[in-house]
Amino acid sequence: MRMVRSWAGRLAAAAGLAVLAAVSLAGQEASYKAPRLAGTNHPDLNGLWQALNTAYWDIQDHSAQPGHVVALGAWGAVPSGRSVVEGNEIPYQPWALARKQQNYRTRMTIDPDDFTVGDPELKCYLPGVPRATYLPFPFQIVQSTNILLFSYEFADASRLINMENHQPPPSDFWMGWSNGRWEGDTLVIEVTGFNGDTWFDRAGNFHSDALRVVERYTPMSPYHLQYEATIEDSKVFSRPWKISMPLYRRIEPLAQRLEFKCVEFTEELIYGTLRKQPRE
């Protein structure tokens, strides 16, 4: 900056520096201040969001590996990915670790007499929370003044986030029951009331109906949120553990949540043995 000799000039320069410093600090991710939703003093999280990782295959570190279906070649193979689990360790109780390994072995098994066998995502069952967040499909956040609606493209899954008059879950659900609140600019959602039938990923990581998830969505820039989820389940894990990842805004013009009603893509898989005439 050009040297300024006059007192007014130095004052102006100091003010200018202070303003520049404030602006540049605001530009740092830690103190990004998102635009407010009209009529509220909360950040506007409306938009189409998507995770960009391979946690949907396995939330822990995983190497590239073949898929289960030879005919699918590279389409069906598992890509490599780094853990979204902080510390890369899931603190299973001993019985639960054995169960996870069994889940993994039978993840593509369909049993017409037992709906609980095999990966629920494979069968287009509702994915639960937090799995719905990091499936390879976008989801839309519809944020109103006192309620939010999350609409996931996968299986047309959805959940309402109650921001007022929090009630305990009236029943047990695949997508749980979500009570939300704001902590500053972070949307904090406590999810309980799970039925215990969803998994965390395709690797067989699972939970019981005692699952409690606390999610945190924090706007970091106009284009991404930081997502964190703390997992607690006293029947399955020996302590709480945490996953985290960025969620990216889908910014292409006219970005739209499309439809993936996958039930019809799984009927042959689930009911195929019950056809009158078997398919060739």
Partner 1 sequence: MSEPLRRSLKFLAVAVAIAGLAAVPLEGQAPAAGATRAASSPAAARTPWGDPDLQGIWNFGTITPLERPASMAERATLTPEEVTHLNEEEAARGDRRLEDPTRDVEVAYNSFWWDRGGSIGRTSLIIDPPDGRFPPYTAQGRQRRELLAVRGYDSWEDRALNERCLVYRPVPVRPSGYNNNNQIVQAPGYVAMLQEQIHEVRIIPLDGRPHVGDAIRPWLGDSRGRWEGDTLVVETRNFHPDSNYEGSGGNRTVIERFTRVDAETLSYEFTVIDPSTWTRPWTGEMPWRRDAGPIFEYACHERNYGMMHLLKGARFLEAEEKGR
> What residue ranges bind partner 1 (CB under 8 A)?
4-6, 8-9, 11-13, 15-16, 18-19, 22-23, 26, 33, 35-41, 44, 46, 112, 115, 120, 123-126, 140, 142-149, 151, 156-158, 160, 162, 167, 170-171, 173-175, 197, 254, 256-259, 261, 263-264, 267, 271, 274-277
Name which of 83 and 186 has its Cβ closer to partner 1: 186
Name which of 212 and 242 has its Cβ closer to partner 1: 212
- Per the CB < 8 A criterion, the answer to whether 199 and 121 are in contact is yes
- The 3-state secondary structure of 30-85 reads HHCCCCECCCCCCECCCEEEEECCCCCCCCCCECCECCCCHHHCCCCCECCECCCE
Name which of 3 and 70 has its Cβ closer to partner 1: 3
SS3 (DSSP) at 187: strand
Name which of 125 and 206 has its Cβ closer to partner 1: 125
- Least separation in angstroms between residue 167's CB and partner 1 is 8
- Per the CB < 8 A criterion, the answer to whether 206 and 175 are in contact is no
- Least separation in angstroms between residue 228's CB and partner 1 is 24
- Least separation in angstroms between residue 207's CB and partner 1 is 16
- Least separation in angstroms between residue 217's CB and partner 1 is 15
- Least separation in angstroms between residue 66's CB and partner 1 is 29
> What are residue 53's phi and psi, to 5 degrees?
-160, -175
Between β-strands 158-162 and 177-183, what pairing exists: parallel, antiparallel or unpaired?
A: parallel
Q: Which helix (H) or strand (E) holds 176?
A: none
Name which of 88 and 145 has its Cβ closer to partner 1: 145
SS3 (DSSP) at 117: coil
